[in-house]
A and B are shown apart, each in its own frame.
Chain A
């Protein structure tokens, strides 16, 4: 008997039954907490409050066209070289990046700044939803020290369930990787003291575009 058959057989024997004749009746949908049911401006307000609480830095922009200016300002503030690794996303590529050395594609080890666009935001926790794909290589979310994420305010949903449904509806199902990102990387492994900038980005900047 294969290990698979043995394990499945063991489960069935423990329950005193054979294979199920039909799929089990799914449980009724769970109630969603009130704070995960916001929409419109309330969702945007909660997203901002929760993201800042998780130590993300927020910049509000009227349109995506303002993104390069905001990136330049942040790079100047951090005294970094004027270079970015940019997600190969047509909406980002077509912007005017004059004054910055731009390289498109997945992150390289020495990239200090990664710029990507989020698929959605989750208000209940201030989380960004990033999907892997040709336009958004996952390595950009983890290798650079400074992670700058553009998020259209109208893409903010109330809770996790809505975000997952949106992936099914608008992205055609699961990509290889879905990253929910809430603030920069951190650790509490030395004497239970929280420190930012563990292995992933030391800083997370959310460039919030437009209004709900």
Chain B
């Protein structure tokens, strides 16, 4: 699940100094964000759909055991296999066993965050299976030996020149003098290279945007068509999915489709929505002969019935990420987890443990934009605060921060003492400002004043001013 070593603080500092990243992040506003706003405005029923999506997912989570068994039974009736996996390790092993059963030398992959979560590529490669990402963004970062920096746009941090460099380094059979200045040239080269891979692959692995309980169908929502070439050309298709991807019916899938495309890319519909159920039928002329669903828990069932259950409604649209001011400043790698931004900061500690991911819930201003745009109405700020409380309770917070918070808490819960302290502090701060109205430097608050001034108090507390005016 880790995308980058190092602490969030040091990673963020490095990210802020990266001009390529800064340019990429500046495009979020005119790209994903404005496209989403336009698409949402065009559908008057969007908020009603959000209510429905929320109710539907709550219903699924309350009855998850029933719907999982129904889904698995339908898959098996159609000749597919279902592999229940408690941990990342079990899921990796299940995929490897299927690949070995097929005698696979090479697998192609559609985009899957579950694959990133369980570190599948390194595992398969370590066991001698060539593993090729085919989503353009995933292909780029695979060549660069990087993790995704965004859950739907994995190579968002990379510019075209860096893509060209990666292609020149990897595609050494091609003419070294070929022009690779334009995105079109880069795309055409990737298309040609990956065509050979699609045709040669023994097994294709895709993720799933939803699993339909009533008919055992798995669905992918995509634009490039790579997920389809990945699943129809090889002899076996493996679907990697986590438990909460279940929807009861195809009509419920329709609700999620309407919410997902608009929230993610601002499209009315993505180019492709593909439902796959089981292996090819006896009369079919193409399609995989074997079909397997690898169902991953990895900490999700333990989230049920607790304060983080609502997070399992997430449909991975990335709207919260696209609208997050912190993500927009530091990008995805700084978080250190493959799940970044607000959704990642709630999910990563739940899946990987708070001790490992305690910094993430703190990387938020709690401005609330994420909750405003979330199609499934997930109360992300509330859950971020919940993690912060737990971090404090479990003594995971660094000592200076703890001591500071404890002192503040002592003061803030004793009104008389608080007012006295403020009455003493205000004139001192006003004096520090020397009539300029702001403080450029303040002892113990260097973290604040390093990048901006602190407005100085005028010398009187609010309560004193209130009382004075009331007397008038």
Contacts and interface: CB of A to CB of B under 8 A. Distances in A.
Given A11-B65, A50-B268, A142-B225, A137 B285 contact: yes
B225 A199 contact: yes
Interface stretch (B169-177, B179-187, B349-357): B179-187
A143 interface: yes
Contact of A7 (B228, B257, B258, B301): B301
Given A24-B62, A34-B44, A109-B199, A134 B285 contact: yes
B40 to A, nearest CB: 12
Contacts of B453: none
Interface stretch (B129-137, B378-386, B395-403, B421-429): B129-137
Interface in B265-280: 265, 268-280
Given A54-B269, A132-B287, A134-B284, A174 B187 contact: no
B95 interface: no
Interface string A78-117: 0000000000100000000000000001110100000000
Given A189-B153, A192-B156, A180 B250 contact: no
A82 to B, nearest CB: 23
A31 B229 CA distance: 35
B268 to A, nearest CB: 5
B286 interface: yes
Interface residues of B, number: 97
What does DSSP make chain A's interface, helix, strand, loop or mixed? loop
Contacts of B280: 132, 176
A143 B286 CA distance: 12
Nearest to A186: B223
Interface stretch (B83-91, B116-124, B463-471): B83-91
Contact of B275 (A8, A29, A125, A177): A177
Given A3-B90, A180-B274, A200 B229 contact: yes
Given A160-B257, A175-B281, A138 B62 contact: no
A10 to B, nearest CB: 4
A188 B267 CA distance: 12
Contacts of B68: 7-8, 11
B153 A192 contact: yes
Contacts of B305: 14-16
Interface residues of A, number: 76
Contacts of A23: 66
A107 to B, nearest CB: 8
Interface string B125-162: 00000000011110010000000000001111001100
Contacts of B154: 189
Interface in A101-150: 105-107, 109, 124-127, 132-134, 137-139, 141-143
B165 to A, nearest CB: 13
- Which of B69, B268, B278 has the largest number of chain A CB atoms within 10 A? B268
Contacts of A198: 136, 187, 191, 223-226
A161 B251 contact: yes
B287 A177 contact: yes
Given A33-B43, A176-B280, A180-B274, A193 B183 contact: yes
B302 interface: yes
Contacts of B233: 139
Contacts of B198: 199
A34 B229 contact: no
Contacts of B27: 191-192
B84 to A, nearest CB: 4
Given A190-B136, A197-B191, A132 B284 contact: yes
Given A11-B301, A30-B49, 4 more contacts: A178-B274, A186-B271, A195-B187, A200-B228
